[in-house]
A and B are shown apart, each in its own frame.
Chain A
């Protein structure tokens, strides 16, 4: 993919290759749309329907009940704290994994993904054993709002690291060397050169972590409990289902659904902005490194360079 498309022999039809035969495309599309509708869209439509089943007035009463508001506030504040901490520590960890050398680095790199692989309920149980009243460190934060934050920190840890890491790997070091030869200190180099280049990845990682934190359930459940004071929205929704208030549960779910859609929209904007950012950087400030840029950005970038 490093050469520009016009030089390739298949320039006449760059999108050809394996294609389903005419009937196959229609069937394939039908299957994909049907699967997504049955598995995802129709259930969500039923949720929307239920939340509005007793009218808009009732929807608002459910969402603005003191308990619901309290859970939503806690969810939002805890998620904001968590992504702020993750932005800092995620960047530090990514930096250590790319720029530092220490024994066991490969193992550390592998264990970053543990929260993706470990069931959330297991995480909750072990966090309780570690930071509950039998804590081997003597730290007891179980059933407090701090526990909510720690549980969310655990499940969202990989997002920022994995979003920043590839940008650090790809980053051209010549600018850093130039800055250093001009007498810039390490901190100045980080602030003026490295950090601005990391922003797209950092923003995408933070948005993903935020979306995940807003909806998290299993890891909070055992460690923070469902006390009125530590009830995040997803735990509140479950308690409403259990007490038979399905409409109330659906109404608060709608708030979370809306927040998820906002996060997804933000992520797609960040990605589009990130690839444009990279393209302009590739065209102007830094020499592009062939074959190291994401293919989509590259295709657009090629078109630009041909002008």
Chain B
């Protein structure tokens, strides 16, 4: 009942409420909704066939496969790391934790181009710290898949940790203690009690990680060299097609990525609701 009366104070005048609505929603319409709508228009302006042909061309299919490969490698690695790291940060006090905590935030604040350049310099066969040795062992990192995987891992590293830490803090330790009192060992307690309790938080982190890996452009563009049909993920394919003035290809691939983004939003919403429940 208090909320009903409070609502009548700020923004209560019809004029001020409508001007706030027009400002806020207008801003969103021009900046967020319009871009989403125009992808559909631009993709299908000459019919369904041109974009379909472009995406199912050998280079388009290869880009899609490579994007999925990035997800298949980077997301599990960062998930295992994220859960382990969150457990150590929350449950095991250590003087190194503060440092680990700040290093984990770095990929959020760092330019993807700087990340790409750092990997480029480390693995360059021409004077990088690791490049020449790995090249002798027959492992190409730059301009091939391993370098792109490393870039994907770097940019998406914080998400699972950041989503898991608050959930771990929130669930507390009573149930886990009960389990160990009943004779469960540490491993059983983790699988049967801890993991089920944090699963929606971890899943939310996994969704964010996947979206970031699928969309990564800046870091991957520097380490991959963007070789068509070889080291091109979907976002690189979009950029390449645009440079070649092939609009159906650029917009067709963009539409695929936009649909994946909408699915991501949907998943985020469902998981948020599960988490709150």
Question: Which A residues are within 8 Å of any B CB, using their own CB?
Answer: 1, 8-10, 14-21, 24-25, 28-29, 31-33, 35-36, 39-44, 46-47, 49-50, 89, 92-93, 95-96, 99-100, 102, 108, 110-123, 125-127, 129-130, 136, 150, 153-154, 157, 173-174, 176-177, 179-180, 186, 189-190, 194, 208, 211-212, 214-218, 221-222, 233-235, 237-238, 241, 246, 249-250, 253, 256-257, 260-261, 263-264, 267-268, 295-296
The answer to whether B113 and A32 touch across the interface, beta carbons within 8 angstroms, is: no
Which chain B residue has the least Cβ–Cβ distance from A194? B10
Measured CA separation A157–B252 after assembly (Å): 25
Given contacts A47-B118, A111-B32, contact A119 B257 (CB under 8 A): yes
Contact A43 B88 (CB under 8 A): no
Given A154-B32, A173-B3, answer yes or no on A122-B106 (Cβ-Cβ < 8 Å).
no
Q: Does B134 contact A (CB under 8 A)?
A: no
* A40 CB contacts on chain B under 8 angstroms: 103, 106-107, 154, 157
Contacts of B108 in A (CB 8 A): 208, 211-212, 264
A-B contact pairs, 6 of them (CB 8 A): A40-B103, A117-B260, A117-B261, A126-B36, A129-B42, A212-B108
Nearest-neighbour CB distance to chain B for A68, whole angstroms, equals: 14
User: Are B265 and A218 closer than 8 Å at their CB atoms?
Assistant: no
How many chain-B residues does the 8 Å CB contact rule pick out?
Answer: 106
Residues of B within 8 A of A8 (CB): 174
Interface residue B244 (Cβ < 8 Å from any Cβ of A): no
Give the contacts of B65-113 with A (CB-CB under 8 A).
81, 84-85, 87-88, 91-94, 96, 100, 102-113
Option from B21, B96, B113 in Cβ contact (under 8 Å) with A217? B113
A10 to B222, CA, bound (A): 52
- Inter-subunit contact B257/A122 (CB<8 Å): yes
Q: Is A108 a contact of B217 with CB atoms below 8 Å?
A: no
- Asked if residues A108 and B121 are in contact (CB atoms below 8 Å), the reply is no
Q: Are A268 and B102 in contact (CB under 8 A)?
A: yes
CB of A105 to closest CB in B, whole Å = 10
Confirm or deny: B140 has a beta carbon within 8 angstroms of a beta carbon on chain A. no
Query: Is A176 a contact of B10 with CB atoms below 8 Å?
Result: yes
Give the distance in Å from the alpha carbon of A83 to the alpha carbon of B114 in the complex. 22
CB-defined contacts of B217 to chain A, threshold 8 Å: 119-121, 217-218
The 8 A-B pairs at the shortest CB distance, nearest first, are namely: A17-B173, A215-B111, A119-B215, A217-B218, A126-B35, A43-B118, A173-B6, A117-B261
CA separation between A119 and B237, bound complex, in Å? 12
Smallest Cβ-Cβ distance to B238: which chain A residue: A121
Pick from A89, A121, A250: contact of B23, CB below 8 A. A89
Chain B positions within 8 Å of A212 at CB level: 108-109
- Asked if B27 contacts A93 (CB within 8 A), the reply is yes
- Give CA–CA (A40, B34) in the complex, Å: 37
B residues near A221, Cβ cutoff 8 Å: 239
Whether A28 contacts B87 by the Cβ 8 Å rule is: yes
Whether a CB of chain A sits under 8 angstroms from the CB of B56 is no
Q: Contact: B109 with A253, CB < 8 Å?
A: no
* A42/B107 in contact, CB under 8 A: no
Interface contact B91-A238, CB-CB below 8 Å: no
Give chain A nearest CB distance to B14 CB in angstroms: 12
Knowing A32-B81, A153-B31, say if A249 contacts B112 (CB, 8 Å): no
Known: A39-B157, A222-B242. A234 touches B111 (CB 8 A): yes
Say whether B92 contacts A19, CB under 8 Å: yes
Contacting A at CB under 8 A, from B233-277, are 234-235, 238-239, 242, 250-251, 254, 257-258, 260-262, 264-266, 268-269
Q: Does B57 contact A (CB under 8 A)?
A: no
Does chain A have a CB within 8 A of B183?
no
The residues of B that contact A20 with a CB separation of less than 8 Å are 87, 92, 186
Docked CA distance A234–B219 (Å): 11
* B47 contact set on A, CB distance < 8 A: none
Nearest Cβ on chain A to B206's Cβ, whole angstroms: 14
Instruction: Tell whether, in the assembled complex, residue A186 and residue B16 are in contact, meaning their CB atoms are under 8 Å apart.
Output: yes
Task: Let me know if B135 is at the binding interface, CB within 8 A.
Answer: no
